[in-house]
Structure 1
Amino acid sequence: MATAIHEALHHAARIFVSRYGAKALDDWEEERTLVSAECTALLVDVTGLSSRYGWLVEEDHSRCQELGRFIRDRHQPGVLYDSARHTGGVCAAIFHRDALGSPKMAESVTFTISGGTLIATDASGKEVASRPTP
């Protein structure tokens, strides 16, 4: 779940800033429920390749999206890749819903900002992730 929290924190903040502007982050608080699911499909695995192909973890996602389209257009169910936001973490892009099963609510997190740092806390209030603001 740690990788999912880091990725969700990053993307939620970017979406918020694009809608309301960076100054609005001063008052930002957002709750998210993370869902886990079993993957029953064989996925294309590009993990471990980011050291050779740095564009796999760059902020500009255009080449990654191109790779994803290439894989999806060949009727593959999805791709595993290194997380750009959580060192050692792995993400999955799933292209076909039937590749996933048994969804469960896994964890609730709250995203806030303090002193220019984005913070994710779990239901008990414990900090579980942080990163600089975008």
Structure 2
Amino acid sequence: MTAAEESPVARVEWNGAVRIIRSLFPPIDLFEDIADPADWPLLLSAEQKTNPRIMETIGNLDLVPAGRRVGGPGASYLMAPFTHVSPDRPSRFSDGSHGALYVAESYETALFETIHHHGRFMARTAEAPGWTSQFREIVLDISADLHDLRGADPASDPILDPDDYAPAQKLAAALRGAGADGIIYPSVRHPGGECVALFHPDCASAPRQGRHLDYHWNGATVDLVRDAGSGAVFRVVEGGAG
């Protein structure tokens, strides 16, 4: 085992943790239903007879162990990252063959994590400057035993490399295979911030919608963030949003 695989396991209890996602993803009816997740396969079988495209909305339910599925109000925010995966969309702790639920301890850390990734997308596609896609803040609670990488040095540890995700993906695959619930690690995009990568949706609970946000792309970076509810605009500066 590597040193990272032998990292200590810490009990993480976060109330009011934050995940920011694109607003274009609507809730998925099956996950929001009051039906017991144990009944989902039967409901899906019946629904597919009249709506053969239902699986495009739900994704691959088989990727989530039956005993770790969650349902009810807001459950789409917990389930969708695990049922909608693709090798074309890898992330730090997933090669795209399985899901990971990324959550930050604070709003500001979540903001800077998404600003970074949205900026990279805008640059790759050579988007014109302007206000871009709307995002939504999801507030949720975390309760899980996670492998603790908070003692790692982001400047030198390959698991926290800002661009090369291969070492982190290899670690995550080994930990998932050993039955781990996930990883807690220092944010690479917001110094001092902390994030978790959860391997199962039942490690989080009580998801509720927070603010709606707009990001402004100036042609080189995301430089402004607007609270769509209040209309307040904040300038993005190194180390924080002012």
TM-score by length of 2: 0.48
Are the equivalent residues in 2 in contact too, given 1:50–1:57 (CA < 8 A)? no
Partner in structure 1 of residue 153 of structure 2? 50
Structure 2 residue runs of 5 or longer lacking an equivalent are 1-106
Q: Distance in 1 between matches of 2:137 and 2:112?
A: 12
Partner in structure 2 of residue 2 of structure 1? 108
RMSD of aligned alpha carbons: 2.2
1:70 to 174, 188, 205: 174
2:144 counterpart of 1:37: no
Q: Distance in 2 between matches of 1:128 and 1:4?
A: 16
Partner in structure 2 of residue 98 of structure 1? 202
Q: Distance in 1 between matches of 2:139 and 2:235?
A: 17
Are the equivalent residues in 1 in contact too, given 2:119–2:221 (CA < 8 A)? no
> 1:80: Cα distance to partner?
0.5
Q: Distance in 1 between matches of 2:162 and 2:131?
A: 26
For 1:11, give the aligned amino acid: H
For 1:127, give the aligned amino acid: F
Structure 1 residue runs of 5 or longer lacking an equivalent are none
Query: 4+ runs of 1 displaced by more than 4 Å?
Result: none
Q: Secondary structure at the match of 2:129?
A: helix
For 1:46, give the aligned amino acid: L
Query: RCO (CA 8 Å, sep 6+): is it higher in 1 or 2?
Result: 1
Q: Secondary structure at the match of 2:184?
A: strand
Are the equivalent residues in 1 in contact too, given 2:154–2:161 (CA < 8 A)? no
Q: Distance in 2 between matches of 1:27 and 1:51?
A: 32
Change (3 A) 1:28 1:67: farther
More strand by share: 1
Q: Number of residue pairs matched? A: 128
Change (3 A) 1:28 1:54: farther
Q: Distance in 2 between matches of 1:30 and 1:130?
A: 20
**Which stretch shows the higher mean deviation, 91-100 or 28-37?**
28-37
**Which stretch shows the higher mean deviation, 113-122 or 93-102?**
113-122
For 1:87, give the aligned amino acid: P
Partner in structure 1 of residue 222 of structure 2? 118
